[in-house]
Structure 1
Amino acid sequence: MNDKVNLKKVFILFFIVAVACMPFSNGEKALFVVASDELTDVPSNGSLDYKIDQLLEDERLDGAITAVSIRKASDGELLYSHDGDIQVHPASNQKMLTAISALETLGPDYRFSTEVLTDGELKGKVLQGNLYVKGKGDPTLLKEDFDQFAKELKQQGIHKIKGNLVGDDSWYDDVRLSTDLNWDDEWNYTGAQISALTISPNEDYDAGTVIVEVYPGEKAGDSPVVNLTPKTDYLTIVNKAETVGKGEAKNISIDREHGTNNIIIEGEIPVDGSRSRAWRTVWEPTGYALDVFKKSLEEQGIELIGNSNVTVGITPEEATVLTSKQSMTIEDLFIPFMKLSNNGHGEVLVKEMGQFVHGEGSWSKGLEVMREELSQHDLNMDSILLRDGAGMSHKNLIPADQITKLLYEVQDASWYPVFENALPVAGEPDRLVGGTLRNRMTGESTKGNVKAKTGSLTGVNTLSGYVTSTDGEKLIFSIMMNNYISGSMTPVQDAIATVLAEHEFE
C-alpha cells in the first residue's frame, strides 16, 4: 500500500459541501451536505484483475451484489468481469438504454410539437368556437411559450373567445405514472406525471412540476410568504408554517398531499432565514398547463366569454391551426436528460417511441420498441427486463456485461457522438457538462476523462461509461452495486474508474 495514502486515511477526515440544483434518481434539488466515506486506496501495482479485485474487498460491499464489467472499446474484448452475467438493477443507467433506443428510432434531429387550433371562426374580435391546445409530448414548454401563443393570437385579432379552452393530451394514453413507481415518490419531481400536454417551471425542463418557494414573513408570528413558479391557481397552498424569531432554527417542509394539488407547508422559518425551495409534482398536469395558458391569454387581454369553460377533450380533425411550436431537437434535449438525469424525459421518450412506431403513446408500446431496438445490438434479451425509461423501477434488470456490450456496439452509429456528448463528465464544474459527475473524480487522471451515467435508488448505485487509460486505451466499464443497506458506494466506483484511467497495458 502507498504510505502517503495510509497517512491520509489516518489523519484526514473531510467533508465535501456541494451546492447542487440537479436532479438525481431519487434526490432533491436543494442545498445538501455530503460527508465523504473513508478514502479508498487505489492500487498502483499489479494486473488490472488484481487491482480491481483488491478494491472489491472493501467491507462496504459486504452483503451487497457488485457487478463489474470492463471491455476494450476498440474491439469489445472483455477484460474483466465480476458477476458481470448477474441480472441487477440499473437505476438511472436505464436512461442509456432509453437514449440509445430513441436515437435509433427517432433520430437526433427529432422534435416534439404543440399546436393551438380552433373549430370556429373569427367574427370581429371574437373567436366564435373552441380554442384547442394539442400537446404532442413536448417536455420543454415554458410559461413564455404560452405567452408567445397568446401574443400571436392577439396579433391575429382575437380579443375574446366565445367557446371553451380545451386541452388535448390524447397523443399519449392517460396512464400518468410508470408501472413500478412507488406511490410515496409521486409527489417529488423525480416522479412527475407524464402527459402529452404539460409545462416545465424552468430550463431544467422538469415537466409536470412547480417550484415552491417559502420566504419568512415580516415579523415573528406571521405566516411565511409562498410563491409558485409559474404562477398558477391550479394548486392550493395550505400554509401551516410560522415565521419565528431571528436566529431560531429553520425547519420547513413542502409536500403535496397524495391524490390532490394541495401543497402543504409546515414548520418554522426565522425572520432572517433564507428561503426554502422545492420542486413538487402536479396532479394531472394537463389542467396545470391549461391554467397557465389561460393566464397568458388574460395577460394579453384575451378573455373567455359566455359560458366558456376550461376542459380536456379531443381536437376535431377539421380544426384549423392558429399557431404552433416545435421543441428543441432530441440532441439538445439529451443534455438535461442525461447530464441531469431527468426522469420525466426518459418516460416521455418511451411513450413517443410507442406513438412514432405503433401509433400508441403508451409505456407498453414504447418498451416494445426499446426491446426491438436493443435486440439489434446482439444482446442477450432473455437477461434484460425493461419496466420503464428512467430507471425508477426496482424491477428493471440487466447484467453489467450486457451494458458494456451495448456501449461497445453503438460506437459505430452515426448518432453516437450525440450520445457520448450527453454523458456526464467527471470533475467538470459546469452542471450542463459535468452533470451528476461534476463533483466526483476531480483528480488529474479522471477529470474530463471519465464520461459515464450515474444511477441511484435505495439500495442501488451504478456507474457505466467510458474512460481512456494512461497509454491511450479507451475502455468501457459498468459498475453496478445492488442490495446494500447503508453507506456510499461512490468511493469504490470512483476508485475503480481511477484504476482504469491510470492503468498501463503491456
Structure 2
Amino acid sequence: MARQVPGTLPTAIVSAAIGIVLAGAGVWAAGPWSGGQRVSERQVRFTGTGTPSGTPVAQASHDSIAPASPSPSVRSTGPTHSPAQAALAPVLAGEKVGGALTTAQLAGALAPLTTAAGLGKHVGVAVADPASSALLFDNRAADGFAPASTNKVVTAVAALAALGPDKQFTTRVVQTSGGAADGASGAAIVLVGGGDPTLSTQPAPADPAWRPASLDELAAATADALRAKGVNSVTLGYDASLFGGPALNPTWSAGYTDGNVAPVVGLMVDEGRSRPGDELSPRVPDPASTAASAFAARLTAHGVKVVGKPTSAPGAGAGTGTGATLAGVSSARLGDLVEHMLTVSDNDLAEALLRQVALAGGKPATFEGGVAAVREQLGRLGVGLTGLSVLDGSGLSRDDRISPAFLVSVLSAAAADDHPDLRAALTGLPVAGLTGTLAEDGRYTTPQSSAGAGLVRAKTGSLTGVVTLAGLVRDNDGQLLVFALMADQATDTASARAAVDRIATTLAGM
C-alpha cells in the first residue's frame, strides 16, 4: 500500500530521506556527534569539529540532509534506487511505482537468511508497511528478545510524545540566602540539576547544529548576577534530586560504569566521564559532586570566591527552585537530543530521558516510574503494549524483553501522518555505512551488504550474545518498510551483524 503524506509536513522530515547518496557521493549529515554510545557498538573516532574523521559532511541546515558532493556514486552494483532524487522527498512521501511486496515474496527472500551462521537459535524478524497493522513477514515476531540498544527507539518515541521536540532541560543557580559567607558581601547559592547529562565543561563544538549547555557560560552568568548584587563570595550547594534512585539499575553489570553509563542523577557534566572529551573514559562514582566542583572552579575563575567545598543540598532547588534564580543554561532541543541519542547510542541520555518522561507523566523519576510512563505514552499513541517488558531506557539490562512486532509498531507510530512531532525518532537513526553505529566495524562494506549502504536507516543493538537492528528502508520500487531484526542467542557477534545487515540490504533490493 502506498503511503501519501501531505506537503505540509515539517522540514525535519526531509532529513529522514531513505534514498541517501552513497559513499562516493559523500556523507549525509545525520548528526555529527561524538560520545556516549555503548562501548561495544563504538569504534568511530571524531575530529575536533565533531564530524567523523576524514569524512566530508554536507554544509546543510540541521533539519535537512544534503549531499556533501554532487559527484555520482562509485558503487556499480546494488538496488536500483535513484538516491539523489529520492533524497529530495520526505521519507514518508511518494507513491510506490510497482505493486506492493507480498508476504510470499518476502518469505522467499528472507526466511533462508534467518538461519545464517552466527545468529543462533533464537531469531526474530518483523517487516511491515507502516500504514498497515499487518506484518508482511513474521519470523517469531511475537517472541520477547533482549533488545539491547534498540530499546532506545522506544524511549525516543515516548519522550517526544510526552514532551514535544522543542522541550529543553535547564540547569539553574539559585540564591537561597543573603547571609555572609566570609563577610558582608557573601551569599549562599545552589547549583540545581535539570536532568541534562549533556551539560558540558568542554569548548563549544564547531558545528552550530549541536550546542550542549555550557557550564562555563552558567558560571559567567552567575558571577555577573552576583556582582550586580554586590556579592563577591559564596558558599555553594548542589541539588541533584530531580531524579530518584537507584542511580544504577540493579540488573546492570557492575562493569558498565567502566565506560558505558554513569550513575543516573539529576546533575552531571560531560555525562559523568572522569576524562571529559574521552568517549571511552570510565565514569565518576558521584557525578553531581564532580559537576559542583567543576562549577566552583569556573565561578572562581570568573571572579567570585567559593568558600569551602560544595555540599549536597537535596531539595534546595525543589525542582523549580525556592530561591531567586540567578542564571540558567538550557540543553539542546529534545528533537536534537533524541537524534544524538539514537545516532551514537547514548546510554546516559536514554536514561535521563526515561526519567523526564516519568516527570512529564507525574510519576517518580526512577527506573520503574520511567518505564510505567513510557507505557502510558505509547498506549496513548495507540501502540499495543504486548511485547514490551523492559527495566530501563537504554537497553543495557539483559532482562529487558521486546518483541520484533512491538518495535515495528513503535516505528510505524513515528512514521504516522498524524504524529509529525515524533519524526526525530526516524531522523536520528544511523545511516548504513555512513553515520553513527552503522559506520563502524566495517558494516555495510561486504559484498553481501554494501548495496544497502546509504539506503538502510536503523538503530543498532549489541550486548554479548545479542545483535539487533530496527529501522526503515524503501524497497526497490519505493515502498516504505519498517523492520526489526533480533537475535539474542548469537554465537558469533561479527557473523550475526553481517547476517542482519544482509537481511536489511535484501529488503532494500526487493
**Cα–Cα, structure 1 residues 377 and 118, in superposed 2: closer, same or farther, change >3 Å?**
closer
Distance 2:433 2:187 in 1: 55
* 1:59-80: CA deviation from partner (whole Å, max 9, x where unpaired): 323x431101111234343111
Q: Which residue is 1:195 aligned to?
A: 265
* 1:411-433: CA deviation from partner (whole Å, max 9, x where unpaired): 221213222111111122xxxxx
Contact 1:445 1:498 in 2 (8 A): yes
Match of 2:503 among 471, 493, 496: 496
Distance 1:353 1:31 in 2: 30
Spell out the pairing of 1:385-424 with structure 2 (5 A cutoff): 385-412=389-416, 413-424=419-430
* 1:168-215: CA deviation from partner (whole Å, max 9, x where unpaired): 111111421123111122222x12111111101xxxxxx11132xxxx
Distance 1:445 1:277 in 2: 30
Cα drift, residue 494 of structure 1: 1.2
Q: Which residue is 1:311 aligned to?
A: 311
Spell out the pairing of 1:279-290 with structure 2 (5 A cutoff): 279-290=281-292
* 1:323-346: CA deviation from partner (whole Å, max 9, x where unpaired): 111111111112220100000111
Distance 1:311 1:418 in 2: 38
- The letter for the 2-side match of 1:341 is S
Cα drift, residue 438 of structure 1: 2.1
**Cα–Cα, structure 1 residues 399 and 167, in superposed 2: closer, same or farther, change >3 Å?**
same
Cα drift, residue 375 of structure 1: 2.4
Distance 2:309 2:196 in 1: 24
- The letter for the 1-side match of 2:111 is D
Contact 1:125 1:157 in 2 (8 A): no
**Cα–Cα, structure 1 residues 277 and 320, in superposed 2: closer, same or farther, change >3 Å?**
closer
Spell out the pairing of 1:335-350 with structure 2 (5 A cutoff): 335-350=339-354
Structure number with the higher strand fraction is 1
Distance 1:354 1:81 in 2: 33
Are 1:173 and 2:247 an aligned pair? no
* 1:248-307: CA deviation from partner (whole Å, max 9, x where unpaired): xxxxxxxxxxxxxxxxxxxxxxxxxxxx984110101000001101110222232234xx
SS at structure 1 position matched to 2:332:
strand
Spell out the pairing of 1:206-221 with structure 2 (5 A cutoff): 207-211=271-275
SS at structure 2 position matched to 1:68:
strand
Cα drift, residue 29 of structure 1: 5.7
Spell out the pairing of 1:146-295 with structure 2 (5 A cutoff): 146-156=215-225, 158=227, 163-188=234-259, 190-200=260-270, 207-211=271-275, 229=276, 278-295=280-297
Distance 2:505 2:43 in 1: 29
**Cα–Cα, structure 1 residues 404 and 28, in superposed 2: closer, same or farther, change >3 Å?**
closer
Structure 1 runs of 4+ with >4 Å offset:
20-24, 28-32, 122-127, 159-163, 377-380, 442-445
Cα drift, residue 86 of structure 1: 1.1
SS at structure 2 position matched to 1:282:
coil
| Larger radius of gyration between Structure 1 and Structure 2 | 1
Distance 1:48 1:173 in 2: 46
Q: Which residue is 1:133 aligned to?
A: 191
Match of 2:166 among 109, 132, 135: 109
SS at structure 2 position matched to 1:338:
helix
Q: Which residue is 2:109 aligned to?
A: 51
Cα drift, residue 377 of structure 1: 4.4
**Cα–Cα, structure 1 residues 163 and 174, in superposed 2: closer, same or farther, change >3 Å?**
farther
Contact 1:167 1:286 in 2 (8 A): yes
Unpaired runs of at least 5, structure 1: 1-19, 33-41, 201-206, 212-228, 231-275, 429-433
Q: Which residue is 2:61 aligned to?
A: none
SS at structure 2 position matched to 1:133:
strand
- The letter for the 2-side match of 1:438 is A
Cα drift, residue 320 of structure 1: 1.1
SS at structure 2 position matched to 1:405:
helix
Q: Which residue is 1:9 aligned to?
A: none
Count of aligned pairs between the two proteins: 397
Match of 2:459 among 444, 453, 457: 453
Distance 2:326 2:152 in 1: 36
TM-score, with structure 1 as normaliser: 0.72
Q: Which residue is 1:60 aligned to?
A: 118
* 1:363-397: CA deviation from partner (whole Å, max 9, x where unpaired): 22111111112223444434321210000011111
SS at structure 2 position matched to 1:424:
coil
Q: Which residue is 2:128 aligned to?
A: 71
Are 1:27 and 2:40 an aligned pair? yes
Indicate the RMSD between aligned Cα atoms, in angstroms: 2.8
Distance 1:99 1:294 in 2: 33
Unpaired runs of at least 5, structure 2: 1-32, 46-77, 81-103, 203-213
Distance 2:137 2:42 in 1: 36
